[in-house]
């Protein structure tokens, strides 16, 4: 499984570098900045994994793959503007990934805590929803500070934000149900 993590990491890095050339050429500075930051973060994750704490490979692999879809394809290659449902798909996937992180947290503490299946489900869905809310707060802050419109407030108002939160919730419910069915403990 570590091979999947390595493949996903290098696929992300290469796709970002190629996309950086493109975004610089077309003067898409938001994509260029985002790509540069995520590229640097992949090396910071490597450093953390080597020096301090080994992050669960399932988490890093899925985050790397998610970054390819959301950052590279969505932002740098404008899939968010070109494909109407792309944003919804990314929020469902982020709910799944965040729910998976919630499950990893529970598994790390399984020996210390008595966790019922209902509590597990609620925790997983809660982590997915909290992540979605934090993301929407981030988008609101970026829009306010830099006079951007990442939340599509000019065209859709609160509707885009609410659909994003619904999709995060549905992704969390989906992965929560998956773990309810597959977890034996």
Cα(123)–Cα(115) distance, integer angstroms = 10
User: Does residue 103 share a domain with residue 57?
Assistant: no
What is the share, in percent, of the chain residues with pLDDT greater than 70? Answer: 95
User: Does residue 166 share a domain with residue 153?
Assistant: yes
Write out the residue range of the structural domain in which residue 28 sits.
1-79
Range in 75-84, 118-127, 155-164 the model is least confident about: 155-164
Cα(103)–Cα(2) distance, integer angstroms = 19
Structure confidence at residue 40 (pLDDT): 94
pLDDT in tens, 128-164: 999 999 999 988 888 888 887 777 667 776 888 899 9
pLDDT in tens, 89-102: 999 999 999 999 99
What is the model's pTM? 0.84
Tell me if 102 sits within 8 A of 127, measured CB to CB: yes
The beta-carbon contacts of 144-150 under 8 Å, at least 24 apart in sequence, are 148/30
User: Does residue 113 share a domain with residue 72?
Assistant: no
pLDDT reading at 35 higher than 70: yes
User: Does residue 119 share a domain with residue 47?
Assistant: no
More confident of the two residues 147 and 174: 174
> Which residues contact residue 153 at a Cβ distance below 8 angstroms, ignoring those fewer than 6 apart?
143, 160
User: Does residue 108 share a domain with residue 72?
Assistant: no
Domain boundary among 48, 79, 110: 79
User: Does residue 42 share a domain with residue 17?
Assistant: yes
More confident of the two residues 20 and 155: 20
What distance lies between CA 120 and its chain's CA centroid? 21
Cα(96)–Cα(9) distance, integer angstroms = 19
């Amino acid at each position: 499984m570590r091979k999947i993590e390595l493949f996903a990491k290098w696929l992300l890095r290469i796709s970002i570098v190629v996309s950086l050339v493109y975004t610089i050429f077309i003067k898409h500075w938001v994509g260029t900045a985002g790509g540069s930051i995520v590229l640097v973060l992949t090396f910071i994750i490597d450093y953390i994994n080597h020096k301090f704490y080994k992050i669960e490979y399932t988490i890093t692999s899925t985050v790397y793959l998610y970054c390819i879809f959301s950052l590279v394809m969505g932002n740098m290659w404008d899939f968010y503007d070109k494909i109407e449902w792309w944003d919804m798909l990314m929020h469902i996937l982020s709910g799944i990934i965040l729910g998976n992180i919630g499950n990893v947290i529970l598994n790390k503490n399984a020996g210390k805590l008595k966790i019922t299946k209902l509590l597990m489900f609620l925790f997983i869905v809660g982590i997915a929803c909290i992540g979605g809310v934090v993301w929407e707060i981030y988008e609101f802050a970026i829009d306010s500070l830099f006079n951007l419109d990442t939340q599509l407030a000019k065209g859709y108002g609160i509707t885009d934000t609410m659909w994003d939160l619904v999709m995060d919730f549905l992704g969390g419910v989906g992965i929560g149900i998956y773990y309810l069915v597959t977890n034996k403990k």
